[in-house]
Amino acid sequence: MDKTESVKQFPDGFFWGAATASYQVEGYNENCDWALAARQGKVPQAGRLADHYHRFEEDFDIAKELGHNAHRFSVEWGRIEPRDGVFDEVEIEHYREVLRALKKRKITPFITLWHFTLPLWLSEKGGCEHKDFPKLFARYCAKVVEALGDLCEYYSTINEPNVYATHCYLYGTWPPFKRASIFGIKVGKEDGTSERTGSRASFWNILAYYRVVDRLARAHNLAYDAIKEVKPDANVSVVKHVHAFDHNGKVFNKLRAWVMTCFQTYFYMDKVRQKLDMIGLNYYRHTKYGDTQSYLLTDMGWNINPAGIYGALKILSRYKLPIVVAEAGIADRSDRFRADYIRIQVAAMHKALEEGVDVRGHMYWSLMDNYEWALGTEKCFGLVEIDYQTLKRTIRPSAHYYKKIIQKNAILE
Ligand code: BGC
């Protein structure tokens, strides 16, 4: 080995894999608010997508071939509870099949109980704004964990509460399309999707935003207790998107970074910190106030800064809990940047680990190309490319690079 090279070894049992979410890959999920919005022309049609619902065995063969030992996926609330309080045993059996398929391949499952899409009956009642939302959510979570508990140990209640509330109640780009404004100025930048949704901006939606964030905290806390009742040994987490805010040392920029971190991360996490066994971190974005550096951009138009995950891990480390990176990835159709993105990110994660942050795993987003919400299927985050006409799966070269890291359980720099 060259003297300048160093090996960054990860602990035994470190989880390596990729993540997906039901609405983004399964296909034909018609009983939810997103499907209704698509029928109304407010968001792109999803349709068959990668047809993961029927092809999960094939997809898990690929994950296995790529060396993954863990896999994060979500179960679809509208499939499992199609009507208020009515649970569909056939759909539950489907997810038991999915879990068995993972077990057979020695891939540890991480289930997300709710990843953005609401069953129609619940969205018609007012969704997260309904006063009973926390109770209804806890009932659903307990039912799922009771039914799947013998096949899975790890459960995340909610995926990215703040991102959800921001898109739904501040930007108005996701159902129920409520947009906020302050003194007549609309919140959020125009990305072309808000016109399609026909949302009308109002100051009151700022209050709706706070109400929803608060309900999502209560929903998590109630669900935590409900899950523990049916499966005391379940490992329960929330998946938090952390936008890593940094500064150039100037007092004003320090203050801005702190305020934004409080608003986007601590505000929610402080409400749920007593009811967590672990934290899932989703990392995509980094902002350094006073930064003069320029960055390459992902296909989403986001700065490419994989090392920023270090800051996000440090932000969450104040809760003194194990952390699993539940999502981190890049939209890069050409696959030009992905391998480097992964290498730099894994090295940054190792640095946090060396400094005592209890990182337990890394799930790349995403195993395969998928439906990127209001932006449709154009953005390609996948380790595996999907041809939506033929459903052919093609492994991208960067996936093989990730496999090398996984096989060594280390990164060679
Ligand atoms: C979400 C995913 C999404 C990804 C990329 C995360 O915020 O959990 O559903 O596809 O970011 O935008």
pLDDT, tens digit (0-9, with 9 covering 90-100), for 240-277: 999 999 999 999 999 999 999 999 999 999 999 999 99
Q: Which atom of ligand 1 is nearest to the CA of 370?
A: 10
The per-residue pLDDT for 2 is: 52
**CB distance 328 to ligand 1 below 6 Å:** no
Checking if the pLDDT of 324 tops 90, the result is yes
Tokens of 91: 């759909």
Task: Return the ligand 1 atom nearest residue 300 CA.
Answer: 12
What is the rounded CA–CA span in Å between residue 408 and residue 148? 32
Confidence of residue 23 (pLDDT cuts 50, 70, 90): very high
Kindly give the distance from the C-alpha atom of residue 160 to the centroid of ligand 1, in angstroms, as a whole number.
Answer: 9
Q: Is the Cβ atom of 242 under 6 angstroms away from ligand 1? A: no
Mean predicted lDDT score pLDDT of the chain:
97
pLDDT at 3 over 70: no
Checking if the pLDDT of 5 tops 70, the result is no
Q: Give the model's pLDDT for residue 412.
A: 77
pLDDT tier, 226 (very low <50, low <70, confident <90, very high otherwise): very high
Whether the pLDDT of residue 192 is over 80: the answer is no
pLDDT of residue 348: 98
Percent of the chain with pLDDT over 90: 94
Average pLDDT estimate for 62-71: 99
For residue 18, give Cα distances in angstroms to 8, 72, 167, 212, 378: 21, 6, 24, 29, 20
Examine the pLDDT at 32 and tell me if it is beyond 80. Answer: yes
Per-residue pLDDT averaged across 363-387, rounded? 98
Is beta strand 384-386 parallel, antiparallel or unpaired with respect to 393-395? Answer: antiparallel
The first and second tokens of residue 141, run together, are 């979570």
Q: Is it the case that residue 112 has pLDDT exceeding 90?
A: yes
Name the more confident of 304 and 412: 304
Tell me, what's the pLDDT at 188? 87
- Measured in Å, residue 376 CA sits from the centre of ligand 1 at 12
Say whether 91 sits in a helix, a strand or coil: helix
* 320 Rama class: left (phi>0) / alpha (psi -120 to 50) / beta: left
Q: Give the pLDDT score at 352.
A: 98
Distance 159 CA to ligand 1 centre (A): 9
Note if the bond before 44 is cis, omega within 30 degrees: no
112 lines ligand 1 (CB under 6 A): no
Task: Determine contact, residues 410/72, Cβ cutoff 8 Å.
Answer: no
Distances (CA, A) of 307 to 16, 97, 127, 232, 342: 18, 37, 36, 36, 9
User: How far, in Å, is the centroid of ligand 1 from the Cα of 3?
Assistant: 39
pLDDT of residue 1: 46
Give 388's pLDDT tier (boundaries 50, 70, 90).
very high
Residue 4 pLDDT level (bands cut at 50, 70, 90): low
CA–CA distance, 377 with 366 (Å, rounded to integer) = 13
Structure confidence by residue, pLDDT tens digits, 131-153:
999 999 999 999 999 999 999 99
Given strand 185-186, what is the order of strands in its sheet?
Answer: 185-186, 179-182, 201-202
372: Cβ below 6 Å to ligand 1? yes
Q: Whose CA is nearest to atom 10 of ligand 1?
A: 372
Cβ neighbours, 10 Å, residue 312: 29
pLDDT band, residue 193 (cuts 50/70/90):
confident
> pLDDT (tens digit, 9 = 90+) per residue, 75-98?
999 999 999 999 999 999 999 999
